[in-house]
Structure 1
Amino acid sequence: VYDNQGLELNVLKSFSNVLRLQFLPYHFLLATANAQGFLQYLDISVGKEVAALSTRGGRLAVMAQNPANAVLHLGHGNGTVTLWSPSVPEPLVRVLCHRGAVRALAVDPSGTYMASAGLDRKLRVFDLRTYKALHDLVLPLGAAHLDFSQRGLLAASCGDVVQVYKEVGKELPTQPYLCHRPPRPPSALRFCPFEDVLGAGHAHGFTSILVPGAGEANLDALENNPYRSRRQRQEWEVKALLEKIPAELLTLDPSLLGRTDTATLQQKRDERIQRLGFDPQAKAKFKPRRRVKGSSSLHRKKKVAHEEQRAVIQQSVEQREQERKRERKAMKKTGKKTGAPPTPKRGALERFRR
């Protein structure tokens, strides 16, 4: 590993016989494919190996990355393409693309289409939503290298000629959009981001090919700013490190991470009901609440105290009623209630009459 001045920073001795390299920017992972058929992931933020997967597919000389979900596509000698994630030891998807060995792979920036080229001299475009071939094109010499631009243009090196195809998702045209012959047969192809330039490397050096409409003109400065300063680059690196996505969240469909797998939950519930013979969740609705140890005795003490308090209140109410009755009787006798003079006794009334 070297810096921008050419000074050696580190040597990864555990990664041997490496044939292809891919860097996952949002996960800070460096993926390597070697000649023994092993796919290894290195977390560069901590310097530790995340996963080492045995593909059991032989020499891994063809590898491409899906920019939409960071899934790696590997081409094998039996004509199949496998999709890999560091958290799964087996391939996520296995697609039979060609009758011969796969020579080149490329995935468009939207993650919708994949282009593959094999020894059968066929150039095929696949829809990654259904994993079915959309278009086939037979090339005279086959394609050794493939690359997609930001606007969906496909570049293919066929022998000593570089061909560019336009709108490969709708229909793969028989005639290329652009052709160029470098001084020597190209050994690598790569589109320059945010520029209408295609770079081709060959034995005599490097050739820049102008491809109108290849680069994205309306750039998102918050996502990737090619004109940022040194200070902005340092701040962007710190922010990207803080927002690093764990390797366990690398899946085919990133939108599923925020959803609930209701089908799996229902399946687990049905299995639990079949194993137990009843639905524990439905029975839990009518199950009384479990009491804490000692709560029953405390409840009895509170109940006795309430009963004693109720008896005292009832006794005091009865005493007040008896006192009121006595007062009423006394008032009737004295005549205070009506305001009339007290009624004389019977003997006194007879004497008065006499």
Structure 2
Amino acid sequence: MAKLEASEKSTDPDLIKLVDEQEVKDPETVKPQQVEQDGSDLLDVKVQKYLRGEGANLEVLRDKKLKSQLVFREKLYGQSAKAAVKHEQWLMPSEEGFLEPEGFEKTWRITQQSLLNEVDVNSSRKAFDMILPELGPYTMKYTSNGRYLVLGGRKGHLGLIDMLSFDLVKEFQVRETVRDVEFLHTEEFFSVAQKKNLYIYNRHGTEVHCLKEHGTPLRLQFLDKHFLLASLNTFGQLHYQDVTTGEIVANYRTGLGRTDVMRVNPYNSIIGVGHSCGKLTMWKPTSVKPLITMFCNPGPVTAIAFHNNGHLMATAGMDRNIKLWDIRKFEVLHTNFGHASTLDFSQKGLLAVGNRTHVHVWRDYSGNQKYGRYMTHEMVKGYQVNKVAFRPYEDVLGIGHSMGISSILIPGSGEPNFDSWVANPYETKKQRREKEVHSLLDKLPPETIMLEPKEIGTVKQPKQKEKKSKQEMEEEMEAAVGMAKGIKLKKKTKGRNKPSKRAKKKEKEVLKAKRPFVEQLLKEEQPFKKQRTMAEAEAELPVALQRFARKTAA
């Protein structure tokens, strides 16, 4: 009976499991009140995950109007958190979805053909090969919701594909070298780094802008929270341009020669640039010099990738080492042997490594950032991998190579549950327009880009000067006096170069060097001198007047 009442009140599987366990242990002792108490405790634990931190301490407030407004807000937050908990049971499990071997079986020995034989029809459609042998090598980019794909061939071929329905939205030929492609804030516009200039096209293939200020671009990145288009040209110049106003926000020379390795950190929008000298620099648009300059590899840096959490970075170099870095401490976590021309992290933390005709996918099995082999894919002989990119919210890896585009299945790589307010693969035109308006209203200024974005809104503490001891100040004064005595005076005309005048000048230089130290010592000793003079004056007075002097001083 208790079990029936609990199942009518709640559909939470954890709560039903809890009731089942209690009924098996002692069916007679299970009471409705006990079940409700256990269910409320379990609900409170799950609600903590969706709350916005701890509630405000409203007991201290004296303003009744403000207090009532905050009480109403806290009530709304609690209701939304409880609604999220109730809908949690309908979400796909985020911790599962990876390949699980049995016995001595190895996951990297499972081929794509064996996967396609086991998956459903819709999943099997996501693996394909698009062969375009005369227009490669190809580069590619997915939208943030994973629905659209833009591809660019080195010989000038550009295409926009709807990956949900596999319809070709637009295909055209620019008859010019294409080095990189990048989506802007929506799939309506995308930028292309061509032979001489940077161009922006709409989804119909119409040229919207030609940005000549960027020079000859090699790599492109888009900062979606700030609406900034970043490019790196052949002279090693880094440009930031606001796509809403058309204004060039920043233009800096890296000073380390030509490079075509650039990636943006999704956590803090910092641009990472790899150089041929083995260094990696991190930039923001409001700083003339790089925020961080770190030596990553003895040889040229060939690829960079950032994890979605912003704290893990992977670099590859010509020294055939792939290193995983903790950016918070700027130290190497692990070093793996291997060469990579392209790297990419998935939403669930898998790392794709592309090199020549091989594509390897690594997985963090232990949770301590120690990656091991997860899956391997061999390209057809002669196909050279140019770029790898995981498709958001799908277990798919896109590969751009010398003979076209390929797509393979990587179980567990994509996030199974999407937030429709952030990225919705099934959004309509009206939803897209509303999202675009809201993103423009929420646009962040370039000044908010920093290494630790949590510092925004906090007060910077002033630096407190360390007080030097008397002995240290005396040592510094002696050093300054020694330097003043060693100054060589200019030889002047007859009558102005007498030994007495030279001695006076040297004495002036010595006094000038002593003055700041003497003034600081006097400031520190002044309050103690006042106390001494008052004590001495009290001692000179008669005993009957000493009490009167203390009261007047107080």
Q: TM-score range by the shorter chain?
A: 0.7 to 0.9
Asked if the contact 1:39/1:55 (under 8 Å) is kept, the reply is yes
Q: Write the mapping of 1:1-354 to structure 2, written as runs, cut at 5 A.
A: 1-139=200-338, 142-167=339-364, 170-173=368-371, 176-183=373-380, 184-264=383-463, 266=464
Please tell me the residue identity of whatever aligns with 2:264.
Q
Q: CA deviation at 1:250?
A: 0.7
Partner of 2:211, secondary structure, is: coil
Partner of 1:237, secondary structure, is: helix
Q: Distance in 1 between matches of 2:404 and 2:276?
A: 30
Please tell me the residue identity of whatever aligns with 2:340.
A
Q: Distance in 1 between matches of 2:335 and 2:355?
A: 15
Partner of 2:430, secondary structure, is: helix
Partner of 1:235, secondary structure, is: helix
- Give the greater-gyration-radius structure (CA): 1
Q: CA deviation at 1:49?
A: 0.3
Q: Distance in 1 between matches of 2:336 and 2:352?
A: 14
1 or 2 for the larger relative contact order (CA 8 Å, sep ≥6)?
A: 2
Asked if the contact 1:83/1:94 (under 8 Å) is kept, the reply is yes
Asked if the contact 1:71/1:85 (under 8 Å) is kept, the reply is yes
Partner of 2:344, secondary structure, is: strand
Match of 2:188 in 1: none
Please tell me the residue identity of whatever aligns with 1:144.
S
Structure 1 gap ranges (5+): 269-273, 279-354
| Deviation per residue, 1:161-183 (Å, 9 max, x gap) | 00000018624345x21011123
Q: Identity of paired residues, percent? A: 40
Q: CA deviation at 1:267?
A: 5.2
Please tell me the residue identity of whatever aligns with 1:224.
A
Please tell me the residue identity of whatever aligns with 1:118.
G
Partner of 1:56, secondary structure, is: coil
Match of 2:74 in 1: none
Asked if the contact 1:41/1:51 (under 8 Å) is kept, the reply is yes
Asked if the contact 1:68/1:111 (under 8 Å) is kept, the reply is yes
Structure 1 runs, 4 residues or longer, greater than 4 Å off: none
Q: Which has the higher helix share?
A: 2
Q: Distance in 2 between matches of 1:90 and 1:251?
A: 13
Please tell me the residue identity of whatever aligns with 1:90.
K
* 159-168 or 143-152, which deviates more: 159-168
Asked if the contact 1:136/1:172 (under 8 Å) is kept, the reply is no
Q: CA deviation at 1:204?
A: 1.5
Asked if the contact 1:165/1:172 (under 8 Å) is kept, the reply is no
Q: CA deviation at 1:209?
A: 1.0
Q: Distance in 1 between matches of 2:331 and 2:371?
A: 18
Please tell me the residue identity of whatever aligns with 2:440.
L
- Count of residue pairs brought into register by the alignment: 272
Match of 1:318 in 2: none
Match of 1:288 in 2: none
Partner of 2:202, secondary structure, is: coil
Partner of 1:10, secondary structure, is: strand
| Deviation per residue, 1:170-226 (Å, 9 max, x gap) | 24345x210111231211111000000000011221110100000001211112222
Q: Distance in 2 between matches of 1:157 and 1:237?
A: 34
